[in-house]
Amino acid sequence: MDTIGEFRVLANDRQARVGELVTAHGNLTTPIFMPVGTRATVKAMLPEELKTMGAQIVLGNTYHLHLRPGEEIIHELGGLHRFMNWDGPILTDSGGFQVFSLSQLRKLTEEGVEFRSHIDGSKCFISPEKSIAIQVALGSDIVMAFDECLPYPATREATLESMDLTLRWLHRSKAAMMNPDQLLFGIVQGGLDIDLRLKSLEQITSVDLPGYALGGLSVGEPIELMHQLVAQVAPQMPPEKPRYLMGVGTPLDLVLCIDSGIDMFDCVLPTRVARNGTLFTWDGRVSIKRKEYQRDPSPLDSTCQCYTCQNYSKAYLRHLFMAGEILSSRLNTIHNLHFYFELIRCCQSAIREGRWDQFRHNFVTRFVKNRVSS
């Protein structure tokens, strides 16, 4: 019988790997992409549509759900799964990143962070214990420890202080866990300094947890530096635990970081850029607002099996976007998420079949070529 929190590596091809994580609401096959449902919804999508596409897990956010509608209301109504009509696994971010990125007025102490709501300016406070209590009330399957996320760039002194605080907060987060069916992941910080990252990794993994994440990336640093850091740090993460890269990223990011041994990803990118008229295809990005598509009767991607590509032309997608129609966001989001899930399925197959190097080389060559030429 499966044990909640158990992680098994099912296949390896060099650093890239396929695994399985057992959660209270089902087993997850990795590598995995988690669509972001910040406010208990993946924008423009029905839960049934996500499941049909291949979504195994969705992400919610502690900060946003705490502010609106409040974890008490969600708990009273049966927890986050019932509230949003999603019966699969849910991961909740701790709220740390949002506290530090959205709250202009904040006061950091050993105890936690006092800040003002970005919604109405009201005074709020989140500590490691409060973050965990919110996530316990929400009933998520994977709970993230409360940490400090520094901006880029940050001094070495500030980074060291932040790492030590994050470790102390991790111990408090673990002590506050109430439900053994919820899995607590710790977050490795350390900025872009490899030595500090490895030191933070040693600190965080000294606390025995079901999984570990790399945080504090995609905060404005050059993307090439992020790739270099992940390539050096990810292989040093415990091999018997899932490795989660938070807030990343583009299709190229996913493939390069899977190559370094990362198992789990989340990012708002595919849904956010869909609403702005940018679509991902195997031949690169497409900006559907371009005038060249005004009379184009062809589908966005003739090889794609998503609902959008099977039923609508580039001309129609451009028309919807230019007219500001809600359906534009729906159809574009359907395509982008389908593309991400199909990319992940292809990565899993390539790893299982021992052809990962060939797949990675072909994808990266094609993606970079089209990125440069677009």
Taking the C-alpha atoms of residue 140 and residue 110, their distance in angstroms, rounded to an integer, is 26
Catalytic-role residue among 13, 147, 266, 301: 266
The reported pLDDT for the residue numbered 373 is 38
Closest CA to 248 of 234, 264, 235: 264
Residue with tokens 């030429």: 373
Angle, in degrees to the nearest 10, between helices 194-205 and 223-233: 50
3-class SS of residue 115? strand
The reported pLDDT for the residue numbered 104 is 67
Q: How does pLDDT run across 247-282, given as a tens digit for each residue?
A: 999 999 999 999 999 999 999 999 999 999 999 999
CA 278 to chain centre: 19
pTM, entire model: 0.97
332: DSSP letter: H
Catalytic-role residue among 93, 147, 263, 301: 93
266 catalytic? Reply is yes
Domains of the chain (ranges; CATH) run 7-267 (3.20.20.105), 274-373 (no CATH)
Residue 174, number of CB atoms within 10 A of its CB: 16
Strands 123-126 and 142-144: unpaired
- Structure tokens belonging to residue 360: 């990675």
Residue with tokens 């993460």: 237
- Structure tokens belonging to residue 233: 């740090």
> With a cut of 70, which residues of the chain have pLDDT below it?
102-104, 369-374
* Angle value at C-alpha 308, between 350 and 302, nearest 5 degrees: 60
Q: How does pLDDT run across 166-178, given as a tens digit for each residue?
A: 999 999 999 999 9
The reported pLDDT for the residue numbered 78 is 98
